[in-house]
Amino acid sequence: MRYLIGFLIISALLTGGFLFLLKDNTSEISANDLPPVPEARVLSVATSSFVIIKTEEDIENQKPLVEMPSEIKAVYMTSWSAGSEKKTDYLIKLIKDTELNTVVVDIKDFSGYITYDIKNSDVEKYGAKQIRTPKINSLIKRLHDENIYVIARITIFQDPILAKARPEWAIHSKKDGGLWLDHKNLAWMDPAAKEVWDYNVAIGKDALDRGFDELNFDYIRFASDGFISDMEFPIWDETVPKQEVIKNFFKYIREQFLGAKISADLFGQATIDNNDLGIGQIIEDAYAYFDYVCPMVYPSHYAKMFLGYKNPADYPYEVVKYSMDSALQKIENWKLEIGNSLATNKSPKLRPWLQDFDLGADYDAEKVKKQIQAVYDSASSTPESINGWMLWNPSNVYTREALE
């Protein structure tokens, strides 16, 4: 082995459902123990008691692909998989043997760690570097050599490492004055803290310098899956609407990455609802600033009786089609409104996350295929507004039979 791992991944656990209950500000907003990675997807990892020793130097920074695929067909890749030659071999072969053409690689996940050897003084000072992918430049080159588009995924406001290092920017508990923790015992940053914005911008810029083709931002919202009434914000005044805070962050990200390809992950419910879900996410705000908007339309994460279905997970085509149709209608409406004239981005595209994991139902090839077909059927009337799809499985083992 090229590096030693003193403590390995403990588990890959997928739990919960998307029963997102909107209540008043003094009550608890429950996502039915919603897993945190990314948003409705979880990978439990031991993060405190192991050492990774790098034994080889990486190659030089790479250049992005000259031409991106016309339609993205992606799978998610954890930082652990990215550091495993065996897992990387598996994913490359899967991509070469099927219609897939893209990987989304974690470089900063729910743990708050940056997972490669980034050279950044703040990351070093905060102890936020944990090298799970020792040779990130070599990985990018290998993927690019296979003409695979490579997206870097960065979580933003759920960040236990930064919260511990800079508690003055983090959400606190009114009850005990310590860091506020969600149901997964993870800390969150105040979304109004511009220092948090800049910290993540620096990480994104480093990723682009290394040759990543696109940046994908997740956890771009206020915390919800915990005791809401116990939250105390050091910077947000609780008067400015949450939507405005998040929209300002969207705008800032676009300004910092002019000319780069950027995408945003949103709750699937954002495709349907017209309010901010209590977390500041309005899909039209994302349309204004991101090249690609990526709603997580996992059928298993919709509430019981959604569209009249007792178990929405049993109806992958219907749930995804309805969500995408609604999101596309929101694009068309948005283009007609004044907000479009003020937006940096004039031609937003949807690129949904789809479910390739068992939750609520056995997600076999048929169910995965139905979700993909739903995306294509939604795109039939406005193909210019959809840019493919992405599959999520926390173990990074995908259903080959669902892919052409």
- Convert the pLDDT of each residue in 261-290 to its tens digit: 999 999 999 999 999 999 999 999 999 999
Residues 6+ apart with CB under 8 A from 361: 299, 300, 311, 313, 314, 367
Q: Is pLDDT at 95 greater than 90 in this prediction? A: yes
According to DSSP, residue 168 is labeled G
| Mean pLDDT across 192-196 | 98
Assign 249 to helix, strand or coil. Answer: helix
Q: Is pLDDT at 341 greater than 70 in this prediction? A: no
Q: Is pLDDT at 59 greater than 60 in this prediction? A: yes
Please indicate whether residue 62 or residue 8 has the higher confidence score (pLDDT): 62
Token look-up 């771009």 returns 220
The residues spanned by each domain of the chain are: 3-402
| Mean pLDDT across 285-303 | 97
In this structure, the strands spanning 231-232 and 172-173 are: antiparallel
What are the φ and ψ backbone dihedral angles of 215, each rounded to 5 degrees? -110, 135
Q: Whole-number mean pLDDT of the chain?
A: 88
Q: Is pLDDT at 47 greater than 80 in this prediction? A: no
Q: CA of 178: how far to CAs of 66, 157, 160, 174, in Å?
A: 48, 17, 13, 8
Distance CA 76, CA 151 (A): 9
* C-alpha 47: how far from chain center: 20
Residues 6+ apart with CB under 8 A from 89: none
| Mean pLDDT across 314-327 | 98
- Convert the pLDDT of each residue in 345-393 to its tens digit: 778 999 999 999 999 999 999 999 999 999 999 999 889 999 999 999 9
Q: Is pLDDT at 85 greater than 60 in this prediction? A: yes
- Convert the pLDDT of each residue in 136-187 to its tens digit: 999 999 999 999 999 999 999 999 999 999 999 999 999 999 999 999 999 9
Distance CA 148, CA 102 (A): 5
Q: Is pLDDT at 329 greater than 90 in this prediction? A: yes
Residues 6+ apart with CB under 8 A from 218: 38, 39, 153, 154, 155, 156, 265
Give domain 3-402's CATH superfamily.
Glycosidases (3.20.20.80)
Residues 6+ apart with CB under 8 A from 138: 58, 59
Q: Is pLDDT at 109 greater than 70 in this prediction? A: yes
Reported as a pLDDT band with limits 50, 70 and 90, residue 3 is very low
Q: Is pLDDT at 54 greater than 70 in this prediction? A: no
> Which pLDDT belongs to residue 55?
47
Residues 6+ apart with CB under 8 A from 209: 61
> Which pLDDT belongs to residue 381?
84
**185's tokens:** 């015992």
Residue among 264, 175, 276 nearest 214 (CA): 264
Beta carbons of 214 and 262 less than 8 angstroms apart: yes
Residue among 294, 301, 292 nearest 266 (CA): 294
- Convert the pLDDT of each residue in 13-30 to its tens digit: 333 333 332 223 322 223
Assign 4 to helix, strand or coil. Answer: strand
User: Which of the residue ranges 1-5, 64-68, 104-108, 257-261 would you say has the lowest mean pLDDT?
Assistant: 1-5
> Which pLDDT belongs to residue 338?
60
Reported as a pLDDT band with limits 50, 70 and 90, residue 342 is low
Q: Which helix (H) or strand (E) holds 282?
A: none
| Mean pLDDT across 83-88 | 97
DSSP per residue over 386-403, as a string? Answer: B-EEEEE-TT----GGG-
Q: Which helix (H) or strand (E) holds 115?
A: none
Q: Is 36 left (phi over 0), alpha (psi -120 to 50) or beta?
A: alpha
**385's tokens:** 């507004």
> Which pLDDT belongs to residue 234?
98
Q: How many CA atoms lie within 13 A of 10 on its CB side?
A: 10
Query: Looking at this protein, which amino acid is placed at residue 333?
Result: N
